[in-house]
Structure 1
Amino acid sequence: MTTQPGDSYASRFPYVVPHSLDDLTGPRHGSVTWPRGDRRTYDLDDADAQHAFYEHVLVDAATVTELCSALNKDLLLALWPQLRPPRYCVRRWHDTFPELATPGSGGIWQ
């Protein structure tokens, strides 16, 4: 990724994205732990906790392996229209998975 004058830190942050959505094999239910941030344990059976966990992982995952073991494809697809990660993170995901940006997918990213 090349930087341009005026680029912000967020535009240069190396957000990780899987090679395939099928690689997202994380849990859909129960309690999960994320080692970074103020809140470390999330209950995936709670809608607010799902959103918080997915937004943290999308921004904080350092490796594709870490991302894929934390996120679940079906849950990500269900939550995507309501998630609010930084726009450069969204851009990386949309560039890799255009189906997330298609009309009808919802969210503010259209």
Structure 2
Amino acid sequence: MDTAGTPRRRRPFEARPGVSALVAPDLATLTGPTRGVVELPISLCWQPNRAFDLASDYRRRALYQNVLREAGRYADLDTFLNRDVLLELWPRLVLPKGVRAAWERAHPELHVPLAAAA
């Protein structure tokens, strides 16, 4: 609801209330690291420990989830995400519905049928 008590209309692809999901126009631009330790800026990760060891599946997924939810610039996506890693992790990422829908609409190759994801 807004300040007048009127229900607020949601945008179709929100990362969180009031913030639209940012989607890379071309997956080929996602040339981020595939190994090593990556430290995210505070704008993408608000936790005290912002270092993500890409050798750990859990930490790699956490990094991608943070960047996909919080990215405010295309440079964030291009710098921290890698196309091949994104394709591999996509079915296992826990994302807001709006983020998942926006990315899958722009990049149908990301869409995984429910039966295949199980």
1:54 lines up with 2:57 in the alignment: no
Q: Unmatched 5+ residue regions in structure 1? A: none
Pick from 6, 27, 35 the counterpart of residue 29 of structure 1: 35
1:68 lines up with 2:78 in the alignment: yes
The alignment's TM-score, normalised by the length of structure 2, stands at 0.78
Distance change (3 Å), C-alpha of 1:56 and 1:106: farther
Aligned residue in 2 for 1:78: 88
Distance change (3 Å), C-alpha of 1:29 and 1:103: same
Aligned residue in 2 for 1:88: 98
Q: What are the within-5 Å matches in structure 2 for residues 37-52 of structure 1? A: 37-38=46-47, 39-52=49-62
Distance change (3 Å), C-alpha of 1:76 and 1:23: same
Equivalent AA in structure 1 for residue 41 of structure 2: P
Equivalent AA in structure 1 for residue 55 of structure 2: D
Aligned residue in 2 for 1:18: 24
Give identity over the alignment, percent. Answer: 31
Counterpart contact for 2:104–2:111, Cα < 8 Å: yes
Runs ≥4 in structure 1, deviation > 6 angstroms? Answer: none
Q: Which is greater in Rg? A: 2
Q: CA-atom RMSD, angstroms? A: 2.3
Aligned residue in 1 for 2:3: none
